[in-house]
Amino acid sequence: MSLLLFDATLCLLLLVLALASILSRQLVHGVILYIAFGLMMALAWARLATPDLALAEAAIGAGLTGALCFSALARQQLHLPVVLSWPQRLWPAVFVLLMLGGVLAALLQLPPTASPLVDVAQAELINSGVSHPVTAVLLNFRSWDTLLELVVLLLALLGALQVAPAAKATTSWPLSLSWSRLLAPMVILLAGYLLWAGASQPGGAFQAGALLAAGAVVLRLNHQLNWLRWSNFWIRLLIVSGVSAFVLAALLAMLLTTDNTDVIWLRWPPQLAGGFILLVELFATLAIALTLTLLVVGEPAAAEQAQQNSGGEAHD
């Protein structure tokens, strides 16, 4: 009974927060409400028994997206009051309602049986090298999808680097600086734990990377870690390492396949699968953390290049 009450409150709160963040008159309020919405959403995922999603939602949806919105707001120069006429508001609403109605009507027809693939996946779990099914799907059964998703993340950064506006000089607040320094070791420890735990329980590269990124973003916005920029070769190497470690591991696995069956792309040798997955996850974590940090901080590549050219000569 109490759980039902909790769920009902959560659903209501989600709806209220979503509406409030859309309807709030000031963008700042909207962002704050949106962060609260993200946290509630994470709770909702946890209630739906998907802790992996809950962790990701808390780290990305509430944490990093909130920081991204705030830093975007800080750089926004114009304050244009956007006034939409009623028809302009009405058409999207009608469209969304119609689509939502259709989708809901269709979803009511969903059969209650679970997918036959779940049994197959559970049966093959012992051969996958990890004991957590989500990690097994992500890094073994459907690793090609994950590899391409890492490329998508990299692409998001490449696109953002091109359009990023010039950074505005801001001063940092001493309290937030010392607080973020205090938090940093804790964040690293937690991220390490999440990564390690991913093999057997909820967690893994994406959640760990997002957490690390959150710590780095706070420090970076407080003008620490100034070497953390795209023009730095080593940072670039680490960002690219997520995908390249994946590819190299796959090539290595191809070489290690000694039996006479034909070589198959992305098949980990069954005895070494756990090791391969941990290796891939480790680099993926670092790459995800750095990519997300640079995405949120968002400094233009061109300006950095110029700065590096002038500074680089002094170094040499």
Partner 1 sequence: MMVLLLVLPLVGALLMLLWPKIAPLLTLLTATICSLAALQLLLQVSEQGSQQILLAGWPSGLAISLEANSLSCLLILLTTVLQLLVALYAFATYRRDKLGTGFWPLSSLLQLGLTSLWLSRDLFNLYVCLELLGLVAVALVSLSGDKAIKPALNYLLLSLFGSLCYLLGVAMLYGAYGVLDISALALQWQTNILSTAALLLMTLGLMLKAALWPLHGWLPAAHGAAPAPVSALLSALVVKGPLFILCLLWLQLASAPQAVAIAPLFTGCGLAALLLGGVSALRTPFAKNMVAYSTVAQLGYAMLALGLLLRFNQPLFAAALWLFVLAHALAKAACFLAIGEITATLGGKRLNTLKGASQTMPLAMFAFAVAGGSLIGLPPSGGFLAKWALLQGLWLQGDQLLWLLAIVLATLLSAAYVFRVVVLAFDRADPVAPDFAPRILPQWLALLPALAVWAMALYSEPLLRLLKQEGL
Site for partner 1 in 4-43 (CB under 8 A): none
C-alpha span between 29 and 33 (Å, rounded): 6
Q: With binding defined as CB under 8 A, does residue 107 bind partner 1?
A: yes
Tell me which of 111, 166, 259, 316 binds partner 1, using CB under 8 A.
111
Per-residue binding string, partner 1, 145-184, x by CB under 8 A, is: x--xx-xx--xx-xx-xxx---------------------
Question: How many Å apart are CA 285 and CA 180, to the nearest integer?
Answer: 21
Residues in 217-256 that interact with partner 1 by CB under 8 A = 233, 236-237, 239-240, 243-244, 247, 251
**Of positions 41, 194, 219, 266, contacts partner 1 by CB under 8 A:** 266
- Please answer whether residues 169 and 304 qualify as being in contact, where contact means their C-beta atoms are separated by less than 8 angstroms: no
At a CB cut-off of 8 Å and minimum separation 6, what does 205 contact?
A: 195, 198, 280, 281, 282, 284, 285, 288
* Binding letters toward partner 1, positions 113-152, x by CB under 8 A: xxxxxx-xx--x---------------xxxxxx--xx-xx
Q: Which of 224, 229, 187, 226 is nearest to 209 (CA)?
A: 187
- The kind and range of the H/E element at 12 are helix 2-23
Choose among 210, 218, 141, 151: nearest CA to 178.
Answer: 218
Written as six digits, the tokens of 250 are 């796959």
Cβ proximity to partner 1: between 115 and 171 the closer is 115
Distance between CA atoms of residues 7 and 13, nearest Å: 10
Asked whether position 285 contacts partner 1 by CB under 8 A, the answer is no
Closest separation in Å from C-beta 91 to partner 1? 14
Residues lying near partner 1 in the complex (CB under 8 A) are found at: 99, 102-103, 105-107, 109-111, 113-118, 120-121, 124, 140-145, 148-149, 151-152, 155-156, 158-159, 161-163, 233, 236-237, 239-240, 243-244, 247, 251, 264-268, 301
